[in-house]
Amino acid sequence: MTDAPTSSSSLADLWKARYRQPPPDGALPENVVVRSLMAHRSVRSFSTAPVPQGVLESAIAAAQSASSSCNFQAWSVVAVTDPQRRARLAKLAGEQAFIAQAPLFLVWVADLSRLEHVAEAQAQPHVALDYLESFVMAVADTSFAAQNAAAAFESFGLGIVYVGAVRNHPSEIASELGLPPRTVAVFGMCVGHPDRRHPTAIKPRLPQSAVLHREKYAGGEEEIPAYDACMTRFRTEQGLSAQDWSTSVIGRVRDAAALHGRDRLRTELVRRGFELR
């Protein structure tokens, strides 16, 4: 059996792993950054080794180097290493054991409280913070920053996995982390050394023809059956149930119960100080 592609593999090999088909005609421009990004895989089994000193701070510097709407920098991140707190967060976030296993758990927070403080410190109004646009901007800023950090961690040879289930119980998460009003945990991120006994593979994505539209939106729904077959083969290779992509996503959008508590998110956001006008 050949080794799985890594960030040191050629871009063509990574392309084949990501799309399960050869790259387009013509040489792909080799680039160490793109190779690292294309080698991404979600890691849910971690060794006990700690995150090396200085890596967290370097990753946050990368996060703060991301684009920010109006330079608002409307995000914060809480780094959790205490095993007992990680265990409590794991219980709140869908009882996912790898949250407690990973040596570092980051909770990425959309944060309008800082902007509120800046305005109030100078006795100025902050009405715009009550509008949906400000919340969307904060979530976008948080996402840009987190993805930069994820890329940085992976460049150091670490593994990560995002955890959306911190939105299952936003008030309880806020209480655990001491989050002030006008803040909310958007997602978590486990960080650590991948457990080599449980390797993970590059998961195939939709073909570019389904997502890349030139000049005008062009649909791409005709690509889905082939992708369903591709994902079924991938899951079988990984020892998982033979389920296609369509079945998986339909199950997650079928009804409110599929949101695992996140159907109450708007109500919780209002409680957290986001008026969402």
Instruction: Say if CB 129 and CB 112 are below 8 A apart.
Output: yes
pLDDT-based confidence at 3, cuts 50/70/90?
low
Residue 88 shares a structural domain with residue 151: yes
Beta carbons within 10 angstroms of residue 98's beta carbon: 18
**Domain for residue 142, yes or no?**
yes
Together in a domain, 67 and 164: yes
Q: What is the mean pLDDT of the chain?
A: 95
Count the Cβ atoms, other than its own, within 10 Å of residue 78.
Answer: 19
Each residue's pLDDT tens digit, 154-201: 999 999 999 999 999 999 999 999 999 999 999 999 999 999 999 899
Q: In terms of domains, do 105 and 183 share one?
A: yes
One domain, residues 51 and 171: yes
What per-residue string of b and e applies to 10-46 under the rule 16 or more CB within 10 Å gives b?
ebebbbbbbbbeebeeeeeeeeeeebbbbbbbebbbb
What average pLDDT score do residues 250-274 get? 95
State residue 24's pLDDT score. 87
Residues 24 and 154 in one domain: no
In a domain, 146, yes or no: yes
Strand partners, 188: 107, 163
Category of 196 on φ-ψ map: left (φ > 0), alpha (ψ -120 to 50) or beta: alpha
Does 187 lie in the same domain as 74?
A: yes
pLDDT at 25 over 90: no
pLDDT tier, 30 (very low <50, low <70, confident <90, very high otherwise): confident
Domain CATH code at residue 171: 3.40.109.10
Q: Is the pLDDT of residue 261 over 70?
A: yes
Domain membership of residue 165 (yes or no) is: yes
Q: Domain check: are 23 and 132 in the same one?
A: no
* Start-end of H helices in the chain: 11-19, 32-38, 55-64, 83-92, 97-101, 113-121, 132-155, 170-177, 208-211, 224-237, 245-253, 265-271
Answer yes or no: is pLDDT of 131 > 90.
yes
pLDDT for 121 beyond 60: yes
Over range 32-50, report the average pLDDT. Answer: 95
Mean pLDDT of the region 57-79: 97
pLDDT, position 205: 97
What average pLDDT score do residues 71-85 get?
A: 98
Q: Is the pLDDT of residue 220 over 80?
A: yes
- Both tokens of 273, joined, read 């100080």
- The range of the structural domain enclosing residue 32 comes to 1-39
Given the structure tokens 């990574």, which residue do they identify? 14
The answer, yes or no, to whether residue 240 has pLDDT greater than 50, is: yes
Strand order in the sheet with 75-80: 75-80, 104-111, 183-192, 159-163
**Number of domains, the chain:** 2
Answer whether residue 213 is part of any domain.
no
Residues 6+ apart with CB under 8 A from 117: none
Give the pLDDT score at 4: 77
The model carries a pTM of 0.95
Say if residue 115 is in the same domain as residue 61: yes
Q: Does residue 26 register a pLDDT over 80?
A: no
Same domain, 87 and 103: yes
